[in-house]
């Protein structure tokens, strides 16, 4: 079951500048920054209520985020929904004819396992599902 929105991913060109822009809106103090090698991105996250916003910039031209920005520009990149059992969810979703980008969960930020559904099978919305790993 997908139980809640965990975070909303926003593709940005310049992470430092974007942090300051979003700080003006949400007035947060704490920002968590992390490089996710597997996705070739650097992220900066902060909480708005129960939801995190995840500003994401590319660390390399071959990053999916660099490709996204060159095609569509900066903006909302994905919505991530949390589950307690990502493997079971992936089986359920692929059983419902939804195309998966990650049939096998990948390592994400915040010590989570993540997987993306292909936007071609979800009306153009990039959906991420994520599970917090137990050794948090
Ligand atoms: Zn994400």
Domain that holds residue 13: 7-132
Neighbour order of strands in the sheet with 112-116: 32-36, 41-48, 51-58, 2-11, 75-83, 127-132, 112-116, 106-107
pTM, to two decimals: 0.91
Q: What is the pLDDT of residue 16?
A: 97
| CB neighbour list of residue 54: distance below 8 Å, 6 or more residues apart | 7, 8, 9, 10, 43, 44, 45, 80, 109
Is 2 domain-assigned?
A: no
Q: What pLDDT is recorded for position 134? A: 80
| Spacing, Cα 108 to ligand 1 middle (Å) | 8
Q: How far away, in angstroms, is 96 Cα from ligand 1 center?
A: 22
Residue 12 lies in a domain: yes
**Ligand 1 centroid vs 71 CA: distance in angstroms?**
19
Task: Write down the pLDDT at residue 135.
Answer: 63
Q: Which residues of the chain carry a pLDDT beneath 50?
A: 136
CA of 100 to the centre of ligand 1 (A): 15
**CATH number, domain with residue 104:** 3.10.180.10
């Amino acid at each position: 079951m997908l139980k809640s929105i965990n975070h909303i991913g926003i593709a940005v060109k310049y992470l430092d500048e974007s942090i300051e822009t979003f700080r003006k809106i949400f007035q947060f103090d704490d920002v968590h920054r992390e490089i996710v090698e597997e996705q070739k991105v650097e992220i900066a996250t902060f909480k708005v209520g129960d939801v995190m916003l995840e500003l994401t910039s590319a660390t390399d031209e071959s990053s999916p985020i660099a490709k996204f920005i060159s095609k569509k520009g900066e903006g909302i990149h994905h919505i991530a929904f949390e589950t307690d059992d990502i493997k079971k969810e992936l089986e359920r979703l692929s059983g419902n004819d939804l195309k998966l980008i990650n049939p096998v969960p990948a390592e994400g930020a915040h010590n989570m396992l993540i997987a993306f559904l292909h936007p071609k099978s979800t009306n153009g919305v990039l959906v991420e599902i994520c599970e917090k790993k137990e050794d948090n």
